[in-house]
Structure formats: structure tokens, C-alpha cells
């Protein structure tokens, strides 16, 4: 009987260990776990679906300023709309600052949009009310959330100066430049001190010099207020200036570029960027198309585990009849063209 008790105890310990293991993204502010969003095709009653997000994983830590890039149609705006609480995913999990974006009811969703996230759109005209001044635009979200008039006035001025548009205080949007409008829009989005600021191509309608100014305003908000910021951008200059750029491909996160400052022996600082591929929770990895094309990899690759890395080889049988795996060891036969079989098991194709 004692054997049974022991194994029961062991089982309990194992369950406890499982339970105590931190959940995926437990310390992240934004957690997307195998996020799926399927749309019925626009305008079509033909039952054709578009899988805009196909199991997207993304973690964003508190205080980060990061960029999302990707080809048109890759799912960037779909993701942003979900994080903004404007759209609901079809499956998977999405949490922002502890709020579950799948299960929020309408009331919680409204509060979430007002208090937890701020949003800046690409279209300058969409961000501000045209008949209100900059100061009135920034005060409006605070008014909706409550708070005294005096507190509001102070914060409006603080935000406008922080973003370098104090001089636009009493102007309406039509009397401001595009870049000024976007910086006021950032102030509006920050009015209620959100945990997360989301921006979908905020510099898309601006020339590059103005885009740089607007990006500098995001950076200031991140540094001074500690707001976590996610920016979707096509602008290489913007993407090159953040510490982390995540690329989305076909509705999934595919690669990630991390940048850090390194100091060399002479004391000179330089920004070093490294590109990483994303390994999803099931262990799936997407190889860059340039790499697979260069080596003619298709369908199958051969993997070999080394002490500190994994080697990926093209399938040598590609183009032969497929299942004649040769069990060949790399290195032994490389470069052999003498027609000899040299230790190679021929697998008996044919």
C-alpha cells in the first residue's frame, strides 16, 4: 500500500509543480496567445473566409516601445483593432493589462477603450474633432471619465507641452499642420493615462521629416510617462529606431529584430541589430523565404541537433521519389562527385 501512497504523493507534487509554473506571458502587459480572426469575405455571401490572424503569438512587456511591420494584408490592423477593443477575435486568447479581450461585456469594453488603451489612427482627420480646439480635444476623454475641471486643465497643458504642441492649444485642427494634428492626437490618446498606446501607421500621411517629429513625440511619451506603446509602421526610419520590431507574415508573428547599443573598445557606441525567427508554442519555426529559396528547400528539411545549435539541411532526396530517406550523415559525403558510394547507404530508391 505504501507504494500506492508514494506515487499518489508524487502525482500531487507533479500537479502542484504544473500549477505553480508561470503561465505563458504571465509577466507581459499584452498577451496574444494563438490569436485567430476569421472574416467572411468582404461583400461576398459565397461563404469564403479570410483568415486575417492565423494563430498569432505576441508578448509585450510593460514600458516597451515597439514597432509592428508586415506586408499589406498581413493582419496588422486586424490585430490593432482587437487590442483596441474595437473587434473581437474568433479564437485564441488576448489580454491587455489583465483584461480579457474575449470575454469583456459591452460595458467593460467601453471602459476599456476609455481608460486602458489610447489609439492614434493614420488618418489625421479621424483622430480629432474638427470643431474643437486642441485643448478641448484633449480634455474631452477626461470629461467622459470624470475628474475635476482644474485637474483637467493642468493635464491638458502638461500633455500639449510634453508633445511639443503647446502653441496649438487654442487652434482647431484645420489651423494645424498634419504633424501637429498627430501630436495633439497622441495627447488625446494619453489623456486618461492609458496603460497602452496603440498607433496604426500614425506617420503614414506625413512626409518623412514630419514623421520623425511625430515619432519623437511617441518616444517622449514612452520615456516621460512610461506608457507602453505599439506602433504599426511602414516607415523604415521609425522601425529602425525602436529596440524591438516584430514582423507579421500571413497573420502570424514571423521574425523579430532586437536592437541594442554596444560600446566598443574605443568607447564608441553603436546600435547593433539582430534578427530572430519566432518559435511558436508548438515549436514551429518559419524560415525566411530568401534562405529556403537560396538552398532550394521545400517540403522537407533534415535537422541535426548539435550541442548548442540545430542544423537545417536541404532534403537531398527532393525530386527523387520522396520516401527514400538515405540516413546519410553530413560531412562524410560532401562534395563527392566521383560516383562512388563512399559509405552512403543508397536507400534502394526505385
Ligand X SMILES: Nc1ncnc2c1ncn2[C@@H]1O[C@H](COP(=O)(O)OP(=O)(O)OP(=O)(O)O)[C@@H](O)[C@H]1O
Q: Contact positions toward ligand X, by CB under 6 A?
A: 39, 42, 50, 52, 70, 72-78
C-beta of 68 vs 187, nearer to ligand X: 68
Nearer to ligand X, 127 or 137 (CB): 127
Q: In the complex, what is the shortest distance from the CB of residue 126 to ligand X, in angstroms, rounded to a whole number?
A: 14
Question: Which residue has its beta carbon closest to Mg ion?
Answer: 77
The distance of closest approach from Cβ of residue 247 to ligand X in the complex, given in angstroms and rounded to an integer, is 11
272 CB neighbour count, 10 Å cutoff: 10
Query: In whole angstroms, how close is the CB of 68 to Mg ion at the nearest point?
Result: 10
Query: Nearer Cβ to Mg ion, position 77 or 228?
Result: 77
SS3 content of the chain, % helix, strand, coil (to 5): 35, 25, 40
Instruction: Give me the least distance between CB of 51 and Mg ion, in Å please.
Output: 16
Q: Which of Mg ion, ligand X, none interacts with 73 (beta carbon under 5 to 8 A by kind)?
A: ligand X
**54 strand-pairing partners:** 36
Residue 222 binds which one of ligand X, Mg ion, none, with CB within 5 to 8 A depending on kind? none
Minimum distance from residue 81 beta carbon to Mg ion (Å): 9
Between vectors from CA 257 to CA 310 and to CA 308, what angle results, nearest 5°? 20
Residue 55 or 141: the one with the smaller Cβ distance to ligand X is 55
Exposed (0-12), middle (13-18) or buried (19+): which is 160, by Cβ within 10 Å?
buried
103 binds, among ligand X, Mg ion, none (CB under 5 to 8 A by kind): none
* Angstrom distance (rounded) from CA 53 to CA 48: 15
DSSP conformational letter for 41: P
Which parts of this chain interact with Mg ion (CB under 5 A)? 76-77
Among ligand X, Mg ion, none, partner that 19 touches (CB below 5 to 8 angstroms by kind) = none
> What is the C-alpha separation between 289 and 72, in angstroms, rounded?
17
The entry of ligand X, Mg ion, none near residue 52 (CB within 5 to 8 angstroms by kind) is: ligand X
Paired sense of beta strands 310-314 and 252-263, if any: unpaired
- Out of Mg ion, ligand X, none, what residue 2 binds, judged by CB under 5 to 8 A for its kind, is none
Nearer to Mg ion, 73 or 240 (CB): 73
The Cα angle at residue 347 between residues 343 and 348, in degrees rounded to 5: 120
Pick one of Mg ion, ligand X, none as the site partner of residue 72 (Cβ within 5 to 8 A by kind).
ligand X
Give the nearer residue to ligand X in terms of CB position, either 34 or 76.
76
Calculate ∠ Cα 237-242-245, nearest 5°.
90
Backbone phi and psi for residue 213, each to the nearest 5 degrees, phi listed first: -65, -40
Minimum CB distance to ligand X, residue 73 (Å): 4
74 binds, among ligand X, Mg ion, none (CB under 5 to 8 A by kind): ligand X
- CA trace torsion 265, 266, 272, 274 (10° rounding): -20
CB of 42 to ligand X, least distance (A): 4
Do 49 and 41 meet the contact criterion of CB atoms below 8 Å apart? yes
Provide, rounded to whole angstroms, the least separation between the CB of residue 46 and ligand X.
Answer: 13
The set of residues, in sequence order, having a beta carbon less than 8 Å from that of 347 and lying 6+ positions away, is 317, 324, 325, 326, 327
**Residue with cell string 508561470:** 22
Name residue, grid cell 489612427.
Answer: 121
Nearer to ligand X, 41 or 281 (CB): 41
Amino acid at each position: 500500500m505504501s507504494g500506492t501512497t508514494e506515487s499518489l504523493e508524487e502525482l500531487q507534487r507533479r500537479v502542484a509543480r504544473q500549477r505553480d509554473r508561470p503561465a505563458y506571458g504571465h509577466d507581459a502587459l499584452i498577451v496574444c496567445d494563438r490569436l485567430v480572426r476569421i472574416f467572411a469575405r468582404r461583400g461576398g455571401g459565397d461563404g469564403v473566409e479570410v483568415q486575417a490572424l492565423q494563430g498569432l503569438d505576441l508578448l509585450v512587456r510593460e514600458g516597451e516601445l515597439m514597432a509592428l511591420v508586415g506586408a499589406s494584408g498581413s493582419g496588422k490592423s486586424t490585430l490593432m483593432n482587437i487590442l483596441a477593443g474595437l473587434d473581437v477575435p474568433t479564437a485564441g486568447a488576448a489580454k491587455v493589462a489583465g483584461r480579457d479581450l474575449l470575454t469583456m461585456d459591452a460595458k467593460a469594453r467601453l471602459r476599456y477603450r476609455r481608460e486602458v488603451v489610447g489609439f492614434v489612427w493614420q488618418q489625421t482627420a479621424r483622430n480629432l474633432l474638427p470643431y474643437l480646439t486642441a485643448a478641448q480635444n484633449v480634455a474631452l476623454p477626461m470629461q467622459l471619465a470624470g475628474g475635476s475641471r482644474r485637474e483637467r486643465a493642468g493635464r491638458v497643458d502638461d500633455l500639449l507641452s510634453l508633445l511639443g504642441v503647446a502653441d496649438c492649444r487654442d487652434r482647431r485642427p484645420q489651423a494645424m499642420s498634419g504633424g501637429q494634428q498627430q501630436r495633439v492626437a497622441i495627447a488625446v490618446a494619453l489623456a486618461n493615462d492609458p496603460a497602452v498606446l496603440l498607433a496604426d501607421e500614425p506617420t503614414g500621411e506625413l512626409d518623412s521629416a514630419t514623421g520623425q517629429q511625430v515619432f519623437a513625440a511617441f518616444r517622449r511619451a514612452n520615456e516621460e510617462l512610461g506608457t507602453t506603446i505599439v506602433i504599426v509602421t511602414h516607415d523604415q526610419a521609425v522601425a529602425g529606431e525602436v529596440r524591438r520590431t516584430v514582423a507579421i507574415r500571413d497573420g502570424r508573428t514571423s521574425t523579430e529584430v532586437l536592437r541594442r547599443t554596444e560600446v566598443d573598445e574605443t568607447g564608441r557606441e553603436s546600435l547593433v541589430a539582430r534578427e530572430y525567427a519566432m518559435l511558436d508554442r508548438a515549436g514551429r519555426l518559419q524560415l525566411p523565404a530568401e534562405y529556403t529559396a537560396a538552398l532550394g528547400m521545400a517540403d522537407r528539411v533534415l535537422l541535426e541537433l548539435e550541442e548548442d545549435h540545430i542544423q537545417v539541411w536541404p532534403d537531398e532526396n527532393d525530386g527523387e521519389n520522396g520516401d527514400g530517406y538515405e540516413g546519410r550523415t553530413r560531412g562524410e559525403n560532401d562534395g563527392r562527385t566521383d560516383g562512388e558510394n563512399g559509405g552512403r547507404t543508397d536507400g534502394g530508391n526505385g
